[in-house]
Amino acid sequence: MFLKTQLSWNVLIPAENLDAEGLMLQRAILTRLLDDFAMKKAFKDIGYFIAVTTLDRVGEGLVRQQSGDLLFPVDFSCITFKMLPGETLEGVVHKILKHGIFLRCGPAEKVYISHHKMAGYEYVPGENPCFMNEKLSKIENGSLVRVTVLAERYDEAEKDFRALVSLEGDYLGPVSSSPV
């Protein structure tokens, strides 16, 4: 699910980026905020960072004594992506194993479907392994698959989420790409 989130961060501006007119200061604050945003992958409570939408407020800068750098409190709005249990998502298959499949759902790459949660599908080994059911519906690398989220977990060390998903339910499984 995409969420609009409001955050408050401190942005550190090196002293060499300052000028007397202040125009370069606003640019430096915004550039540094965007750089910091891009380096952070995700937070447990709000999900993956997607994009900054608005810069709402820049507070007064505080001078750091030893370096002369300025620290500005900044409030901004952004878009985040978080997988929630019970939610239906679509993902692209990027890895097939004997015991399940890994999908990419937006920025999440560790979305797993166990073969136990793919009722009616059997593993077909070979050069291009896949899962296939009796109706010859095939799940292979590159397939778009609609799933429901069973659980998600945040890995603090990697700043990344893992999700367990299922094909059990109505309107779940490979998404047909043929025209209607």
Q: What is the CATH number of the domain that holds 162?
A: 2.40.50.140
141 Cβ neighbours under 8 A, 6+ residues apart = 93, 94, 95, 96, 128, 130
Number of domains in the chain: 2
Provide the 8-state DSSP code for 44: T
Distance (Å, whole) CA 132 – CA 128: 12
On the CB side of 116, CA atoms within 13 Å amount to: 2
Residue 63, domain CATH:
3.30.1490.120
**54 and 33 share a domain?**
yes
Domain that holds residue 22: 2-81
Q: What is the pLDDT of residue 40?
A: 85
Q: What is the pLDDT of residue 179?
A: 44
Q: What is the pLDDT of residue 52?
A: 92
**95 and 44 share a domain?**
no
Q: Is residue 103 part of a domain?
A: yes
Please give the helix or strand (H or E) that residue 30 lies within, else none: helix 23-39
Q: What is the pLDDT of residue 21?
A: 56
Final residue before a domain boundary, out of 59, 81, 103 = 81
**10 and 77 share a domain?**
yes
Q: What is the pLDDT of residue 19?
A: 62
Q: Is residue 77 part of a domain?
A: yes
Residuewise pLDDT in 10s, the chain (180 residues): 889 999 999 999 887 766 655 557 778 888 888 898 888 889 999 999 999 999 999 998 888 888 878 899 999 999 999 999 999 999 999 999 999 999 999 999 999 999 999 999 999 999 999 999 998 899 999 999 999 999 999 999 888 999 999 999 999 999 975 444
Final residue before a domain boundary, out of 81, 101, 129 = 81
Q: What is the pLDDT of residue 61?
A: 85
Q: Is residue 70 part of a domain?
A: yes
> Smallest Cα–Cα separation from 91: which of 16, 180, 167?
167
Q: Is residue 61 part of a domain?
A: yes
Q: Is residue 180 part of a domain?
A: no
